[in-house]
Structure 1
Amino acid sequence: MFDEASEILRLENLEVHFPIQGGMLDHLLGRPSGAVRAVDGLDLTIQRGEIVAVVGESGSGKTTVGRAIAKLVQPTGGTLRFEGRDMTSVSGGATLSSYRRCVQMIFQDAYQALNPRHTVFDIVAEPLRSLRLVRTSDELDTRVSQALTAAGLSPPDEFAARFPHELSGGQRQRVVIAGALAVKPGLIVADEPVSMLDVSIRAQILQVLMELREQRNMALIFITHDLPVAWLIADRIAVMYLGRLVEIGTADEITFNPQHPYTIALRDATPKIGVTGQRGELSSLQGEVPSAARLPKGCRFHPRCPLAFDRCRQEEPPAAQVGRQHTVVCWLASEANSAAAGLT
């Protein structure tokens, strides 16, 4: 479906570590006593017009990845390339402004993302004004109306003069989407954009995002903890755990043929409805997520893996190709591949 020429974003060994301050002496000397390794060596590519869902539970590092891509936090290692240009160390100036025209972010809590003292018009117009993308008031009016219409707030004149408290939850989320669309970005990072909405409104917002992809050939990174929602909207799903990418593949492969024990646990933890209308049995994930400041030795995925063996406690597994577009970081998949190769 996609080729290398259409690549819009490439992350190579991306790291985002947050320092931990120790005692008074460490504070006086300005030295950290450790670091939270929120993102710890992530490789990911996004093609133009592609929707990639980044899935994982709280603490997996998925939101930090999105904030690093949007340049809201600075990577501490690795590289971030956008349309072939190295943007890793960009932190201000005209280059950052140019980058912000191309990459926008949709936040999880729409109410906190909106200024309660501004009207819908001013909220959507703010990025156009701050990035100096319009020259006249007529052009500003046109761009704001187009963004509101694209986000499903039509007719736009009915919403432009309203304040955030006068809108429903779904309408507020559409305003946030309109603000991101106003600058006509090539990539949007959507951080849990439907997790706080009712199911019916959630479907409408997902439909808006998918239609925008078709209309504008816009790439979308969709961050979520909900595997079924990821399957509905994404072309590919990337599963994160403790700062690392543990499995990536097409939406169907990850949802219906997961190979990593953690991905299988995420799938099994999803509530199910039986054929007779009875609720399916809900599986629970065992154990606790290790601290990102004190990572376990060897395979960091062992605490959640029901099939762990001694090798997991000693060394990290390599990435194993288990399908044409399906990669798993797990010793089980790696050893299965080695066994299959020995038979052929």
Structure 2
Amino acid sequence: MPDTADVLCLESLHVHFPIQGRLFDRLRGRPAGAVRAVDGIDLNIGRGEIVALVGESGSGKTTVGRVITKLAQPTGGRMLFDGRDMTSVQGSSALRPYRHRVQMIFQDAYQALNPRHTVFDIVAEPLRSLRLVEDGKQLAERVGEALASAGLNPPGDFFARFPHELSGGQRQRVVIAGALAVRPELIVADEPVSMLDVSIRAQILQVLVDLRAKHNMALLFITHDLPLAWLIADRIAVLYLGKLVEIGSADEVTFNPRHPYTVALRNATPQIGGNVGRAELPALQGEVPSAARVPKGCRFHPRCPVAFDRCREEEPPPVEVGSGHTAACWLAT
């Protein structure tokens, strides 16, 4: 079970990307606007807890992960790690202790790996850059330990291989090993299995679950697949257009969703035998609205199958609909 203490806390986090206006607007000094990729979310992750951040493409999931790993800078709010405010900390030397404790697993393993480096050099790189080993013997031991933890056994057989000599599942395990090598306290996994076969997905997910149990490591699991999130997560947070619209235990959010968007995510997954027992709501229409033009009221109402007049004017606040279960919808209660 996860620890009760929070290892990470996001407080009213905002990430806005400025839009470059037209030449005439710039000459007149008119504001160009901004893309509101993340628009004020509150999220905490307990020590040893797995939290899934779920939403469709364009909802802001990866941006949240990049802020947590200090690959992007927030424009508002605070990020606390182990009680320390890390929001404005920048620079390689100042971030070295933080990089030791927080790592990221990227979605495309092949793009994340340097094709000119061997597996040994790829996994050893963070250990060298963060100066976590004293000599070559210790370096080889840490690399072998990381590869074994990621399920690449015997690890010595992979030291001299290059990424193109590995299967898709093996490449993803090398990426996981690179993150594990520094023994982090929190890993942000951005769609780590979306490009793998179904049979390989189960193996990678099992590796992540085993690592949590072995090292009491916290995990933010970013995905668009709600049933997949239910398989691995303790809690699920549903993100839509930069806002958390529902959050609660994995069972509650999956089997008792209280926001129409969560219901749509669940119903979008094909089931053998049809959608028996699922909520009778029509599928969402159209693409994700632009984060540069957020609606005045409920940002979900242009796509909501049960929206009414109030949704056009007022944004619903998150309300508690169960123990630890909140949803931002006027019909949630």
1:296 alignment counterpart: 295
1:108 alignment counterpart: 107
Instruction: Give per-residue Cα distances to partners, 1:250-270, cap 9 Å, x unaligned.
Output: 111111100000001111111
SS in 2 for 1:59: coil
1:259 alignment counterpart: 258
Q: CA deviation at 1:287?
A: 3.1
313-322 vs 212-221, which moves further: 313-322
Q: CA deviation at 1:304?
A: 2.2
1:309 alignment counterpart: 308
In structure 2, the CA distance between the partners of 1:99 and 1:30, relative to structure 1 (3 Å rule), is farther
SS in 1 for 2:182: coil
Residue identity matched to 1:122: D
CA distance in 2, matches of 1:117, 1:46: 36
1:153 alignment counterpart: 152
SS in 2 for 1:21: coil
Q: CA deviation at 1:144?
A: 0.3
Establish whether residue 171 from structure 1 lines up as the match of residue 167 from structure 2.
no
Q: CA deviation at 1:24?
A: 2.3
Residue identity matched to 2:235: R
1:43 alignment counterpart: 42
In structure 2, the CA distance between the partners of 1:173 and 1:31, relative to structure 1 (3 Å rule), is farther
Q: CA deviation at 1:274?
A: 1.4
Q: Give the 5 Å matches for 1:300-339.
A: 300-333=299-332, 336=333
CA distance in 1, matches of 2:318, 2:289: 21
Residue identity matched to 1:154: N
Q: CA deviation at 1:86?
A: 0.2
1:342 alignment counterpart: none
Residue identity matched to 1:134: V
Q: CA deviation at 1:303?
A: 1.6
Considering only aligned residues, what root-mean-square deviation do their CA atoms show, in Å? 1.8
In structure 2, the CA distance between the partners of 1:314 and 1:30, relative to structure 1 (3 Å rule), is closer
Instruction: Give per-residue Cα distances to partners, 1:117-157, cap 9 Å, x unaligned.
Output: 00000000000000111111111011000000000001001
304-313 vs 23-32, which moves further: 23-32
Residue identity matched to 1:44: L
In structure 2, the CA distance between the partners of 1:78 and 1:214, relative to structure 1 (3 Å rule), is same
CA distance in 1, matches of 2:285, 2:28: 41
In structure 2, the CA distance between the partners of 1:282 and 1:97, relative to structure 1 (3 Å rule), is same
CA contact (8 A) 2:259 2:328 kept: yes
CA distance in 1, matches of 2:195, 2:259: 28
CA distance in 2, matches of 1:256, 1:250: 10
CA distance in 1, matches of 2:205, 2:281: 26
Q: CA deviation at 1:289?
A: 1.9
39-48 vs 87-96, which moves further: 87-96
2:142 alignment counterpart: 143
In structure 2, the CA distance between the partners of 1:303 and 1:124, relative to structure 1 (3 Å rule), is same
Q: CA deviation at 1:32?
A: 5.5
SS in 2 for 1:74: coil
User: Is there any run of 5+ residues in structure 1 with no aligned partner, and where?
Assistant: 276-280, 337-344
CA contact (8 A) 1:18 1:35 kept: yes
Establish whether residue 59 from structure 1 lines up as the match of residue 84 from structure 2.
no
CA contact (8 A) 1:39 1:61 kept: yes
Q: CA deviation at 1:325?
A: 1.3
TM value normalised by structure 1 = 0.92
Instruction: Give per-residue Cα distances to partners, 1:285-313, cap 9 Å, x unaligned.
Output: 22332110011111101022111111111
CA distance in 2, matches of 1:57, 1:93: 33
CA contact (8 A) 1:288 1:303 kept: no
Q: CA deviation at 1:10?
A: 0.2
The number of residues matched between the two structures is: 328
TM value normalised by structure 2 = 0.95
Instruction: Give per-residue Cα distances to partners, 1:162-207, cap 9 Å, x unaligned.
Output: 0000000000000000000000000000000000000000000000
SS in 2 for 1:68: helix
Q: CA deviation at 1:28?
A: 6.9
SS in 1 for 2:302: helix
CA distance in 2, matches of 1:290, 1:25: 27
Residue identity matched to 1:268: N
Instruction: Give per-residue Cα distances to partners, 1:220-277, cap 9 Å, x unaligned.
Output: 00000011110000000000000000000111111110000000111111100018xx
Q: CA deviation at 1:3?
A: 6.0
CA contact (8 A) 2:2 2:216 kept: no
Q: Give the 5 Å matches for 1:66-215.
A: 66-215=65-214
Establish whether residue 34 from structure 1 lines up as the match of residue 39 from structure 2.
no
In structure 2, the CA distance between the partners of 1:29 and 1:69, relative to structure 1 (3 Å rule), is farther
167-176 vs 293-302, which moves further: 293-302
2:19 alignment counterpart: 20
CA contact (8 A) 1:128 1:134 kept: yes
CA contact (8 A) 2:3 2:48 kept: no
Q: CA deviation at 1:94?
A: 2.6
CA distance in 2, matches of 1:7, 1:46: 5
